[in-house]
Amino acid sequence: RAVEGFGERLALVADRWTAPTPCDEWDVRWLCAHVVGGNRFAVLILGGASADDALSQVMAVRQIGGWPVDDLQAGAADMRAAFAASGTLERTVDHPVGELTGEQFLRLRIYDVLLHTWDLAKALSAADRLDDVLVRRVLAEVDGGLIGAIPGAAEKAATSGLSDQERLLLLTGRDPAWASPPS
């Protein structure tokens, strides 16, 4: 579901590839390449590659071609198959943050794609409402410490009256009010 949500926003990019995103150092193209490449990276490390080798292989090729949604879907299909392979969720993989079980890595991929869906939506001034079920799931991961919150963000996120999505965004260092500058 996280990939589908990202794909819905990716289909809206048109000529906005250089638009800024809430990820300070990335424009829309870099953000999308990160997600598409992240799916390909996942396939490689789930297949036994080291994080360094997988990153080198992914960075050596262009992630987005003439049909970006197709690039996303192809990589996501391969990633789903890799995660579904027998024993994958129990095995450990080499990841830039350290060794993770396949299950922990899957949860990290959902986190990454879900939050970058919001980033892309905001960059495009598109609908930024995320899937409620995924938001609650990822928020539980952040609250539970599996995926770290940004230091100092807990105070902002503790404000009463915030939605789960707003809390998640604040905990991960995002400003729910961020808006793309006028073009």
Of the listed ranges 43-52, 103-112, 156-165, the least confidently predicted one is: 156-165
Summary mean pLDDT of the chain: 93
Task: For 147-182, write each residue's pLDDT tens digit.
Answer: 777 777 777 777 788 999 999 999 999 999 999 888
Alpha-carbon distance of 1 to 7, in angstroms, equals 10
CA torsion through residues 120, 123, 126, 129, sign = positive
Report helix, strand and coil shares of the chain as percent, to nearest 5: 55, 5, 40
Q: Give mean pLDDT, residues 48-54.
A: 96
Task: For 123-148, write each residue's pLDDT tens digit.
Answer: 999 999 999 999 999 999 888 776 77
Alpha-carbon distance of 147 to 145, in angstroms, equals 5
Alpha-carbon distance of 3 to 78, in angstroms, equals 12
Task: For 14-30, write each residue's pLDDT tens digit.
Answer: 999 999 999 989 999 99
Phi and psi (nearest 5°) for 7?
Answer: -60, -35
Q: Give the pLDDT band of residue 183 (cuts 50, 70, 90).
A: low
Q: What is the pLDDT of residue 135?
A: 97
Q: Which residues contact 33 (CB under 8 A, 6 or more apart)?
A: 63, 64
